[in-house]
Amino acid sequence: MQTKPNDKGKKTTMMNNDNVPFYKSPQFWKSTGIFWALVALVIVMAFSQPAFLTRPNLINILKQASITGVLAVGMTMVLLTGGIDLGVGSVLGVACMAAAYATTEEQGWPILIAFLIGIGVGAVFGFINGVGIAYVGFAPFIMTMATLSAARGIALVSTNNRPIFNLSEQFIDVSNSIYFGLPSLIYYFMGVTILAYILTKKTVFGKWIYAVGGNENAARYSGINVKRVKVIIYTIMGSLSGLTGVLMASRITSGNPVVGDGYELDAIAACVIGGVSLSGGSGSVIGTVIGVLILGVISNGFDILGISSNYQRIMKGLVILFAVFIDIRSRMRKND
């Protein structure tokens, strides 16, 4: 491709001089920027904190990242449609209780049933969100805040605020084992990521997700059933929240009704760091994964330094602001 003006003299932004190989061009650095940020972050941590590169610490990071990651992958798809789900933490709480109830030593149902129950509970909440947003017309912010309240209430009421203990050994193994040197949780994260990647990038439905988020009106005028897309997306998000609830029940070896509080913040922060636009239509699952890892490393850093989790919340808020700022800036520059 030569750098000559086209017939209409219109300025074009894709001026890639063919003499420079892709990996040296500015576009490469821009689109893989966050990956290098992660690499730089890891290097800095490794050198400044000897405790960082130890096996137990890295396993810890990966475990927490997997939990946030499953939620963040779902949140990515919701954000891509231009929506948001603020209730994921509470939904996972209900699912946690449901799964724990199913796998106590007394109840003794098979683990698969626990998974199905947890995911199912999440799916129901997700479906309700989707119908409220797509068919009734509630703003996603409002609708999912409502489910946040309702779900947390249900979780607390279910056992009168008391946790459920005595879960079966088998179930506890789900989140607390090591396979091939990696914590079991990471495999759930990877599996969900691969499926989400294929869905969003390789299927027609995935293209519709981007179309709805990018320009909902144009999508509708092109024959895409926008309402159906939204209901499906929120149901998927709910299911993934449910899955996370099951995994948490196993991880903390109990069904705790207050678990998950604030997890939506982590999920959204990870997405935003990973380059998902809050206005919809752009971003990717891969970026979110890197965002999850960056968030995980930063949180871990705070922990190693002994900084309390309250400061971590402030930090996450600032990180979100910063990442959105970068997104808006690059958007404005593109419009020039």
Partner 1 sequence: MKQILSMRNIVKSFSGVEVLHSVDLQLFEGEVLALVGENGAGKSTLMKILMGIEQPNSGEIQINGDIIKIDNPARALDLGIAMIHQELSPIPEMTVEENMFIGREINRFGFVNTRKQIQKTREWLAKLNIDISPMLKMEELSISKMQMIEITKAISYDSRILIMDEPTSAITEKEVMQLFELINLLKKNGVSMIYISHKLHELPYIADRVQVMRDGHIISVSNMADMNEKKIMRDMVGREISTIYPKCKNKIGEPILEVTQLSKEGEFEDVSFTLHAGEKLGIAGLMGAGRTELMSAIFGANKADSGRVMVKGRKLPLRRTSDAIKHNIALVPEDRKLMGLNLVMNVAENTTMCIDQTIAKSGFLNTRRGENLSRMMVDKLSIRIHSLKQAVENLSGGNQQKVVLAKWLLTEPEILLFDEPTRGIDVGAKAEIFELINQQVLQGKAALIVSSEMQELVGVADRVLVMCEGKITGELKGKDITQENIMTLASPQKETAGQAV
Distance, CA of 209 to CA of 155 (rounded, Å): 31
Q: Which stretch binds partner 1 (CB under 8 A): 65-73, 218-226, 250-258, 260-268?
A: 218-226
CA distance between the termini of the chain: 23
What's the min distance (Å) between Cβ of 72 and partner 1? 22
Nearest to 287 by CA among 327, 247, 232, 242: 327
Give the Å distances, CA to CA, from 327 to 41, 215, 278, 296. Answer: 20, 18, 9, 21
Residue 275 falls in which region: left (phi positive, over 0), alpha (psi -120 to 50) or beta: left
What's the min distance (Å) between Cβ of 275 and partner 1? 13
200 HSE (CA, 13 A, CB side): 29
Quick check: 206 binds partner 1 (CB under 8 A)? Answer: yes
Quick check: 324 binds partner 1 (CB under 8 A)? Answer: no
What's the min distance (Å) between Cβ of 231 and partner 1? 15
Quick check: 10 binds partner 1 (CB under 8 A)? Answer: yes
Tokens of 89: 């933490």
Q: Of the candidates 99, 148, 219, 240, which one interacts with partner 1 according to CB under 8 A?
A: 219
Q: Of the candidates 46, 157, 218, 328, which one interacts with partner 1 according to CB under 8 A?
A: 218
Range 50-54, long-range pairs (CB < 8 A, 24+ positions): 51/304, 52/300, 52/301, 52/304
Quick check: 7 binds partner 1 (CB under 8 A)? Answer: yes
Kindly tell me which of 7 and 106 has the beta carbon lying closer to partner 1. Answer: 7
Q: Check: CB of residue 90 under 8 Å from CB of residue 148.
A: yes
Q: Of the candidates 185, 211, 298, 323, which one interacts with partner 1 according to CB under 8 A?
A: 211
What's the min distance (Å) between Cβ of 198 and partner 1? 8
Nearest to 23 by CA among 35, 11, 12: 35
Quick check: 21 binds partner 1 (CB under 8 A)? Answer: no
Quick check: 62 binds partner 1 (CB under 8 A)? Answer: no
What's the min distance (Å) between Cβ of 204 and partner 1? 5
Query: SS3 of 57, please?
Result: helix
Kindly tell me which of 199 and 324 has the beta carbon lying closer to partner 1. Answer: 199
**Residue whose pair of structure tokens reads 């007394």 in the numeric block:** 106
Q: Which stretch binds partner 1 (CB under 8 A): 78-86, 125-133, 185-193, 203-211?
A: 203-211
Q: Of the candidates 56, 137, 223, 306, which one interacts with partner 1 according to CB under 8 A?
A: 223
The overall longest dimension of the chain from CA atoms, in Å, is 77
The interface mask with partner 1, positions 264-283, x = CB under 8 A, is -----------------xx-
How many residues sit in the footprint of partner 1 (CB under 8 A)?
A: 36
Query: SS3 of 178, please?
Result: strand
Distance, CA of 267 to CA of 295 (rounded, Å): 10
Binding site for partner 1 (CB under 8 A): 1, 3-15, 202-208, 210-211, 214-215, 217-225, 281-282
